[in-house]
A and B are shown apart, each in its own frame.
Chain A
Amino acid sequence: MEHVAQHSDPHYDQEASKLGMWLFIFTELLLFGGLFIVYAIYRFLNPEAFQMAGHELNLTIGAINTVILLVSSMTIAMSTSALQKKNKGLTVLLLEITVMLALIFLINKYFEWGVKFDHGIWPGSEHLLNDMGHGEVLFFGLYFVMTGLHALHIVIGMIIIIVALNKVQKGTVHADRPSLLENAGLYWHLVDLIWIFLFPLFYLIH
């Protein structure tokens, strides 16, 4: 039975892989959704403390990072169009730009967190526990957990994009088999989507 002549195409279903990705995205949305509900309740219970603590955050870095993520979302969306138009060079270039923008986002985040650490603010720090009220502790706890979890998603997103980029270069992802790139794009837009809500809730408290 070794040489049975049969035609075997690996099964490929673009709609199904998109559906699978969306189901995964739903779990991610509800994961962050849970954290947003925790945030909403604690802000409702400690409005003044959240306002005071919110002023500690750097609005400029937050705004710059928002624009960076929005641009990177556009470049990866464009790369799908470029792939469909069979423009491999442009697809690769746009994906490289996306990864670079993601890296810049993380570098900004590094400096932003670094300034907080210099001021003695991190989860469980002496300064936070001894000199600040209950509400501030909650605010900064949520700030570090939520932006940290988001940053972790940025790192994972970068890895997925780099894998997709390699496969585009190798030619295993192409106009007739674009699912990996499309799903990488969906994941990246999810990261953008979460930031769209993180930004006003943490940086725009006045």
Chain B
Amino acid sequence: MVNYIIFILVVAGVYALLAQSLTLSWGLAGLVNLGLVGFFAIGAYASAMTTKWGGWPIPLGLLAATVLGLFTGFIVTISTLRLRDDYLAIVTLGFAEVVRLVASNEIWLTGGTDGIAGVPSIVPRAWGQGYHVTMLAIVSVLAIATCALVRHLAASPWGRALRAVREDQVVAAVAGKPVIRLKAQAFSIAAAIAALAGAIYGHYTSYVAPEIYQPLITIYVFLAVTAGGVGRPAGAFLGAYLLIGFLELTRFMAEIVPGVSPVQAAATREILVGLALILLLRLKPNGIMPERNQKAPPSTA
């Protein structure tokens, strides 16, 4: 049981990292990034390939993943400059599918659908429970640090400008804000965070394969951010833990109900997830921790 809870907390930590990524790109910059899982995959592959096949030390692998995430994030932004809202969502969704298809079909590069098994772990797996506890510490510290970073960014003048772009980019441009640069920066940093999360997850579970990176993961992260509070880093952080906690809790809830067949239990879980989302959006439409407006400084006149 203890191992299970630790494992779930590590997974939740990875989701918390992804949620920070989404908070930055969607919550603050208003860029609907349905390609989140694509960046997650890029990070996982970058780190797995460099450390397993290239023999790089793991910190370098993580760095490679982050840098590659930053770079692909930048490429995606400059190729979608004119897109917003639904159109951007469609293109980014397509981007994630492209990543998955390339990973499946470019066998010489990625190992194809077999994936990469036996990705080196950050600390020795032989430590048993110690391994999981150490990973929990690493992931939690990273998640908290990223949350603090995004909070800091959001509160900075840069963050305010970003929100101005989110609300109305024409107005922001008229006010002299460099709209394109702001969007590119936010999106690239967000992609780098997602890639880092992917790298960590790959090292933790020791297996990377195209089938892991399905849109389901993106949807879960959107759920987490929506539940926690869009545009509020602490909310997204909380939302990720709540989401994973809830997803796992539904297993036990479905088991308690007597006379339910496994397939009914699986369906019940999905119903519960949907129901929870509807209830949440009815009762707390802005999430558990809604975004706070920054007060204007007191007038000095």
A and B form one complex: no
Residues of chain B whose beta carbon lies under 8 Å from any beta carbon of chain A: none
Residues of chain A whose beta carbon lies under 8 Å from any beta carbon of chain B: none
